[in-house]
């Protein structure tokens, strides 16, 4: 019976986390090695050549450190108030009776506290203590969604090359400067990678990012709006 190759798992976890976070692979590998008692990845690799293999417990420890130990269920309670986590077109929603927390796909997106039913009295979204407990859960879910996006894209889409050029995740064009179709804002390859190819100025989507400025006379009038449209609490 062939034993499980935990070393292969360790390499895959480090690679996935580097891609999801945009960090250098060697930096993530070093953290992984140090988590299980090695000074650096080279020391781990040298021992692996002599037949050493990490254990299942080692893998769980590394995964917990690299990906974060915190986790929340998709459905749960904050006090007596139930909530549900949802993802719609890569946007994050945390919903309960009469309320919703909306966080867009872009890392620059700010959480929006929304009232979905004004008939509901004593809405918890208007309670600062409730919001303080709910926001970390919604933000955690948003980070998970963004990490999945980054893992699906080419490495150069989340990590520019030495010349600052980043690869567009959809058309695979490379450039060190990108222009927004909506606001004509100019962004560097690093800015695009950090904000998951959303305009850092107006929030336009990756479909609206081009390596050449768009002629003003040909720019269509469009508007970006959240996927759920509700009343904001006062």
Show pLDDT as tens, one digit a residue, over the chain (234 residues).
457 888 899 998 888 888 776 678 888 899 899 989 898 999 999 999 999 999 999 988 888 887 765 678 899 999 999 999 999 989 999 999 999 999 999 999 999 999 999 888 889 999 999 999 999 999 989 988 998 888 888 888 988 999 999 999 999 999 999 999 988 899 999 999 999 999 999 999 999 999 998 776 655 555 554 444 444 454
Contact (Cβ atoms closer than 8 angstroms) between residue 101 and residue 91 = no
Q: Which residues contact 1 (CB under 8 A, 6 or more apart)?
A: none
| Burial class for 169, CB neighbours closer than 10 Å (0-12, 13-18, 19+) | buried
Q: Positive or negative, the Cα torsion across 88, 93, 99, 101?
A: negative
User: Two tokens at 203?
Assistant: 């929030």
CATH architecture group of domain 155-218 = Single Sheet (2.20)
Query: Which residue in the block uniquely carries the two structure tokens 């927390």?
Result: 101
| Euclidean distance between the first and the last CA atom of the chain, given in angstroms as a whole number | 64
Token pair 């919903």: residue:
95
Q: How many CB atoms are located within 10 Å of the residue 114 CB?
A: 20
Q: What is the rounded CA–CA span in Å between residue 13 and residue 157?
A: 19
Task: Look at residues 68, 142, 71, 72 and name the one whose alpha carbon lies nearest to residue 101.
Answer: 142
SS3 13: helix
- CA dist 90 and 111 (Å) reads 14
At residue 113, the 3 state secondary structure works out as strand
Q: Determine contact, residues 230/115, Cβ cutoff 8 Å.
A: yes
The domain locations on the chain are 6-67, 75-151, 155-218
Report field, pTM of the whole predicted structure over 0.75: no
């Amino acid at each position: 019976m062939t034993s499980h190759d935990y070393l292969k798992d360790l390499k895959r976890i480090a690679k996935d986390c580097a891609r999801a976070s945009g960090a250098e692979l060697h930096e993530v590998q070093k953290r992984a090695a140090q988590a299980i008692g090695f000074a650096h990845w080279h020391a781990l690799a040298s021992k692996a050549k002599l037949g050493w293999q990490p254990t299942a417990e080692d893998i769980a420890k590394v995964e917990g450190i690299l990906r974060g130990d915190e986790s929340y269920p998709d459905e749960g309670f904050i006090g007596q108030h139930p909530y549900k986590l949802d993802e719609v077109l890569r946007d994050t929603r945390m919903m309960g009776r009469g309320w919703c927390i909306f966080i867009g796909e872009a890392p620059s997106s700010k959480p929006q506290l929304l009232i979905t039913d004004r008939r509901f009295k004593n809405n918890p979204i208007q309670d600062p203590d409730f919001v303080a407990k709910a926001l970390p859960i919604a933000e955690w879910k948003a980070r998970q969604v963004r990490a999945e996006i980054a893992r699906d894209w080419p490495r150069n889409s989340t990590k520019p090359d030495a010349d600052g050029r980043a690869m567009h995740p959809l058309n695979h064009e490379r450039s060190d400067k990108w222009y927004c179709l909506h606001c004509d804002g100019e962004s560097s390859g690093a800015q695009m990678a950090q904000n998951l190819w959303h305009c850092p100025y107006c929030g336009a989507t990756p479909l609206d990012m081009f390596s050449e400025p768009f002629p003003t006379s040909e720019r269509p009038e469009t508007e970006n709006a959240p996927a759920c449209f509700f009343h904001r609490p006062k």
